[in-house]
Amino acid sequence: MKLTKEQAQEIKDQQSQSNSTKRVTAPELEKILYEAIPILDHGFIRVVDYMGDDTSIVQAARVSYGKGTKKVSTDSGLIKYLMRHWHSTPFEMCEIKYHVKLPIFIARQWIRHRTANVNEYSARYSILDKEFYLPSSENLAAQSQSNRQGRGEVIEGEQAKQVLELLKNDAERTYKNYEEMLNQRFDGTTIDENKKGLARELARMNLTLNTYTQWYWKTDLLNLMNFLRLRADSHAQYEIRAYADAMLDTVKKWVPITYEAFMDYRVGGTEVSSKGKKVIQKLISGEKVDIEQSGLSKREWNELMLALELKDKLI
């Protein structure tokens, strides 16, 4: 992870602040506020602001009560009830804002979650940093034969070395051409006094998708959990999952009761169709049941068996 001098000074200044407030705060999240948490080779996330905590959710659910009128155990029971029964609006009362540095190809995947406020680094206004994401060897994998949007076996040896060289060389070559078109180097110096630089909004289109960008991303807790439920999942692409895992840890520090309910009912739980429910009932009663009797497709059957950890029944 690399921070500019300006970013490092900004973090230092922000963390040296001492403000008094009557608003609720999350002590554990306060400890890492503004801190740059490293992700991948050059990326990071920072929590730069937040609003509310677990009690804000409870207060919204029971608007006739004020903060501090109940025990923590009571709050926990209510939040679990809300999570269990998909009562979503109380979770919208909490908001959080992140500063994220990430590769462009992950940003384009991330932006599909359209329920946040986003402001991205402008390559029309500024020159993008000379930083590119290169996968580590254990994350360099072939195309999966069973999943069109997933990875298969890890690529090793000479082929892996060749792929990494191609990624690195392409990124460096296109960035050099980017500088040539701009007629300006990364450090701000002019290349040729007799040439005009191409407009930044045009020159940027030559860059590779592993170039790093940055943005501020603000969302409410409900939509953050929707994002994390998909992106912290084992089936998500590794690179975006690395960001989601780090964000999940910030949620634990921010709203620990909600985090526990989320991990229990959303991440660790599973959804079951009416046909799947009947399969489970038969399994519990000791009846013999197979895919032909269940009415489930092969994929539905295998997903249910994996959720129930009955791998011997996979087809």
Sheet holding 117-120, edge to edge: 37-39, 43-51, 95-103, 212-220, 117-120
**Of the candidates 249, 238, 233, the residue with the CA atom closest to the CA atom of residue 46:** 249
Q: Per-residue confidence of the chain (315 residues) as pLDDT tens digits? A: 778 888 888 888 888 888 888 899 999 999 999 999 999 999 999 999 999 999 999 999 987 555 555 566 688 999 999 999 999 999 999 999 999 999 999 999 999 999 999 999 999 989 999 999 999 988 888 887 766 677 778 888 899 999 999 999 999 999 999 999 999 988 889 999 999 999 999 999 999 999 999 999 999 999 999 999 999 998 899 999 999 999 999 999 999 999 999 999 999 888 899 999 999 999 999 998 999 989 999 999 999 999 999 998 898
d(CA 236, CA 233): 5
Q: Is 73 helix (H, G, I), strand (E, B) or coil?
A: helix
d(CA 58, CA 284): 36
Which sequence positions are flagged as catalytic?
Answer: 231
